[in-house]
Structure formats: structure tokens, C-alpha cells
């Protein structure tokens, strides 16, 4: 466990130190309208509007471009920026990279928290909804403060979109946020037959990534000691078993580029062998126990994937349930009484039908061609074992199972 935590910590620290090198497939657009493909440093903050860090390949040196240097840039399947001259209210005119949110007859742009719109052949217009606090006297000794909104953005939108009857009602109640404006401008462009209108560089709202998983597991079984189960108080050898199964990773890029939901179902069949020797006056009891535990393990959890590189680390963790299938236990007792050996056989214990546990893993992944991802992972898991579960009232006969799994897999992008 300590080694795994050390690996996870090392991956996290290393990735944070190099998070500035989060390069993704992209391009720059020169002033001559030539597209140069390569890799663009992906950024979520305000620096994306003032500079573009670009490299033709991951092995070449990076070059930083300002808005005056190029006509724009983009990250494939994500974001598109254009270099434009703007003058925001209360600020000096400048040249900046504007994010193209919707492209069409009316185009919606964003810079920081501000939005601008431009109709074909028209000028930039900033969408503004200023808020100010006003005080209204109710009586001589009483006053009330309230917020008044300018709603200037509605006036601008009404003028630009008035030629579409379908959007007039929506304009009157338009909110000044990305989601509402994107929906409104897209609807207008469709209304006006702008067949080339697009959500520029839009991310998919939701997608699932399936994978085939295989590996090898090492498992340890332990029981707490109780007099009536003395045959289980000894040591069990680590059980080793191959692993195979499938996993699904659910991603929502519009919500987060890093976090995803993980679900898997894998089959494994560990066999635990234990031995206990108990000596009393003139009597020696040797207990041999074998527990067969074929199972389908279903881990669910959250995965955090670090910034994309040629080899990208990730960490994940969550809860698990193991459903036992045809489980069995065998107990052989050999008693040596003054040189006379007798043998008894029976069931070692009543095995419960499932296990509940928690797990933590760390791994790396790398692209294979254009459509596949190869990954490898080390995972640690602890469960409530095969005896009484967490929710059984006292007194309890407890057991624990710890698993270390080495997994490899191939997923579809």
C-alpha cells in the first residue's frame, strides 16, 4: 500500500510540475490564411486570449505567438480563436484572441467573461448587462436596496436577430451566459438557413469509452481469531489469479477535461490455501483449509487524467462489489493423539455471497494510432472478505481481503 501511495504521489507531483506542457493537436492560422498543423498548449484561463504556445511536433521547441503575429489558432475538437481588434467598454482598444463560440450568419465570440456578437458584414457589438445597486426610500426611517440591470444585451440581440420570428420571444428573456447565448445564436442561424453554421470547436457533451482489460492479481486473506473458528486462525498463502473483463469510462468534456466516471466488470478466480497448527497436551491438530472464490468484480469510481502527453498518467479510485460464483470451502483436520492420526473433513465456513470494498489505482496511457489507447495500471483494493460483512451486528466473525492487481488494456478513443 505504501509503495502504491508513493507511486500516486510521484505521478501527481510530476504532472503538476509539467502541467504547463499540456499540448494537444491543433493548428495556427497565418495572416496569409495558411493553416500550420502541430500542437497547441491547452489553457483554460485568460492567457488563452493573449498568447498561443505552439510547436510543430512534440519534439520541437515551442513558439509563443501574440494576437498580432497570427490570424488565429485552434485546438482540434475543442476551441477556436481568431485574432481581432476590439474595444470593450471601459477599456482601451486592443488586439486579442477571441474564442469563437458559434460560427454562422451571426457569430458569437467570448473573451474572458465578456461576449461579443457580429453579423455578416457588420461590426462587433458587445453584450452588456450592467448591474447597479439603488436605494429607494419607503418611509422617513426606512429604505430598501435593490439591484437594477441594464439589459443592454437584449436590445442588441433584438436588433440583430429580429428577422427570425422563432427567436423573438427567446431574445426578450435572454440570459447573458455562454449556455443561453449559444443556444439562442445557434437557433437563429438555423432559422435563417445558415447551413454552414457550427458550434466552433465544440466539445462532445457526453461520450463513453469502452476497453478490454486483462491482468494478474495477487490476493491476501485474513481472519480475526475466535475460538470456534480456530481452524481459520493460521496463515493463508497469497492467491494468484489471471484477470479479464471490460470497462467503460464515461466522459463529459464540456463539464471537465480531466474527470470521468469509471465502471468495469472483471472475472477472477483466486484460491486461498491456509494452514493452522494447534498443540495441546499430548494432542496436535493440523488444519488444512482451501477456499475457492470465483467472482465477478465490479469497481466503480472517479478517474482523474493528467494533461495529455505522449504518455499520460492518471489516478482513480472508488468502491467495489465482488459477486461470488460457485464459491466453496474445504477443511481437513488431522489430529495426532499420542501417535494415532485421525482425519476429519468438512466445510471451513459459510461464505457470504459478495464482498464490499474500496480501491485506489494509478496508471499510464498512450495512443496507438488514431483510434486506440493502450493503458497499464496498478490497483490496490481492500474488502470485507468472506465472513460477516460490515452491516452484521456484533459479535462478528470478521475477515479481510486485500488485492493488488496489475492491469493492461486497450480502449477505443
How high does pLDDT run on average in the chain? 87
pLDDT tens for 328-378 read 999 999 999 988 899 999 999 889 999 999 999 999 999 998 789 999 999
pTM recorded for the entire structure: 0.63
Q: What integer pLDDT is reported at residue 4 of this predicted model?
A: 47
Phi (first) and psi of residue 407, to 5 degrees: -120, 145
CB 67 within 8 A of CB 52: no
Whether the predicted pLDDT of 11 surpasses 70:
no
The percentage of the chain sitting over the pLDDT mark of 70, rounded to a whole number, equals 89
Phi, psi of 100 (to 5 degrees): -90, 110
Name the band, by pLDDT with cuts 50, 70 and 90, for residue 136. confident
Q: What average pLDDT does range 246-250 have in this prediction?
A: 96
In this prediction, residue 137 carries a pLDDT of 75
What is the model's pLDDT at position 199? Answer: 60
Mapping DSSP onto H, E and C, the string for the chain reads: CHHHHHHHHHHHHHHHHCHHHCEEEEEEECCCCCEEEEEEECCCCHHHHCCEEEECCCCCCCEEECCCCCCEEEECCCEEEEEEEECCCCCCCEEEEEEEEEECCEEEEEECCEEEEEECCCCCEEECCCEEEEEEEEECCEEEEEEEECCHHHHHHHHHHCCCHHHHHHHHCCCCCHHHHHHHHHHHHHHCCCCCCECCCCCCCCEEEEEEEEEEEEEEEEECCCHHHHHHCCEECCEEEEEEEEEEEEECCCCCCCEEEEEEEEEECCEEEEEEEEEECCEEEEEEEEEECCEEEEEEEEEEECCCCCCEEEEEEEEEEEEECCCEEEEEEEEEECCEEEEEEECCCCCCCEEEEEEEEEEEEEEECCCEEEEEEEEEEEECCCCCCCCCCCCCCCEEEEEEEEEEEEEEC
- Of residues 167 and 389, the one with the higher pLDDT is 167
Per-residue pLDDT, 333: 93
- Range from 7-21, 53-67, 200-214, 382-396 carrying the lowest mean pLDDT: 7-21
Convert the pLDDT of each residue in 381-407 to its tens digit. Answer: 999 999 865 555 555 678 899 999 999
16 — pLDDT class (breaks 50, 70, 90): very low
Q: Which domains does the chain have, with CATH numbers?
A: 22-191 (no CATH), 207-412 (2.40.160.20)
Alpha-carbon torsion, ordered 294, 299, 305, 311, to 10 deg? 0
pLDDT for residue 100: 93
Q: What is the pLDDT of residues 85-133, one digit of tens each?
A: 999 999 999 999 999 999 989 999 999 999 999 999 899 999 999 988 8
| Nearest residue to 112 (alpha-carbon basis) of 132, 126, 123, 133 | 126
> What's the pLDDT tens digit per position in 192-245?
886 555 565 556 667 899 999 999 999 999 988 666 788 888 899 999 999 999
Percent above pLDDT 90 for the chain: 63
* pLDDT at 204 (0 to 100): 62
Tell me what pLDDT residue 6 has: 47
Contact in structure between 381 and 357 (CB atoms under 8 Å)? yes
Task: Name the least confident of 63-77, 217-231, 294-308, 324-338.
Answer: 217-231
Mean pLDDT throughout 251-271?
A: 90
pLDDT-derived band at 286 (thresholds 50, 70, 90) equals: very high
Model pLDDT, residue 194: 65
Amino acid at each position: 500500500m505504501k509503495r502504491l501511495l508513493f507511486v500516486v504521489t510521484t505521478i501527481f507531483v510530476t504532472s503538476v510540475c509539467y502541467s504547463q506542457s499540456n499540448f494537444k493537436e491543433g493548428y495556427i492560422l497565418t495572416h496569409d490564411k495558411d493553416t500550420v498543423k502541430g500542437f497547441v498548449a491547452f489553457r483554460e484561463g485568460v492567457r488563452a486570449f493573449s498568447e498561443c504556445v505552439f510547436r510543430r511536433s512534440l519534439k520541437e521547441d515551442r513558439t509563443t505567438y501574440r494576437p498580432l503575429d497570427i490570424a488565429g489558432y485552434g485546438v482540434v475538437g475543442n476551441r477556436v480563436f481568431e485574432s481581432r481588434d476590439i474595444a470593450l467598454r471601459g477599456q482601451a482598444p486592443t488586439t486579442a484572441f477571441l474564442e469563437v463560440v458559434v460560427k454562422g450568419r451571426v457569430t458569437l465570440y467570448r473573451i474572458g467573461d465578456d461576449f461579443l456578437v457580429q453579423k455578416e458584414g457588420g461590426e462587433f457589438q458587445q453584450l452588456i448587462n450592467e448591474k447597479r445597486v439603488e436605494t429607494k426610500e419607503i418611509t422617513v426611517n426606512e429604505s430598501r436596496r435593490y439591484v437594477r440591470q441594464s439589459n443592454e444585451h437584449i436590445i442588441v440581440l433584438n436588433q440583430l436577430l429580429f428577422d427570425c420570428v422563432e427567436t423573438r420571444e427567446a431574445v426578450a428573456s435572454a440570459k447573458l451566459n455562454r449556455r443561453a447565448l449559444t443556444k439562442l445564436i445557434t437557433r437563429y442561424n438555423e432559422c435563417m438557413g445558415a447551413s454552414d453554421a457550427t458550434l466552433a470547436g465544440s466539445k462532445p457533451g457526453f461520450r463513453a469509452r469502452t476497453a478490454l482489460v486483462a491482468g494478474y492479481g495477487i490476493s491476501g486473506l485474513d481472519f480475526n481469531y475466535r475460538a470456534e473458528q480456530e481452524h481459520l486462525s493460521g496463515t493463508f498463502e497469497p492467491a494468484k489469479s489471471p484477470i479479464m473483463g471490460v470497462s467503460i469510462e464515461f466522459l463529459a468534456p464540456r463539464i471537465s477535461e480531466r474527470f470521468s466516471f469509471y465502471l468495469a466488470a472483471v472475472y477472477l478466480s483466486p484460491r486461498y490455501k491456509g494452514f493452522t497448527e494447534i498443540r495441546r497436551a499430548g494432542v496436535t491438530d493440523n488444519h488444512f483449509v482451501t477456499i475457492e472464490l470465483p467472482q465477478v468484480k465490479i469497481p466503480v469510481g472517479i478517474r482523474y487524467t493528467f494533461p495529455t502527453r505522449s504518455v499520460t498518467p492518471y489516478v482513480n479510485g472508488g468502491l467495489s462489489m465482488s459477486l461470488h460464483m460457485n464459491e466453496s470451502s474445504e477443511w481437513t483436520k488431522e489430529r495426532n493423539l499420542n501417535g494415532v492420526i485421525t482425519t476429519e473433513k468438512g466445510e471451513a465456513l459459510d461464505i457470504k455471497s459478495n464482498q464490499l470494498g474500496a480501491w485506489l489505482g494509478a496508471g499510464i496511457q498512450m495512443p496507438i494510432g488514431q483510434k486506440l489507447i493502450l493503458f497499464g495500471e496498478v490497483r490496490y483494493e481492500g474488502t470485507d472478505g468472506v465472513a460477516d460483512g460490515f452491516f452484521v451486528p456484533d459479535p462478528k466473525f470478521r475477515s479481510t481481503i486485500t488485492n493488488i492487481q496489475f492491469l493492461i488494456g486497450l480502449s477505443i478513443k
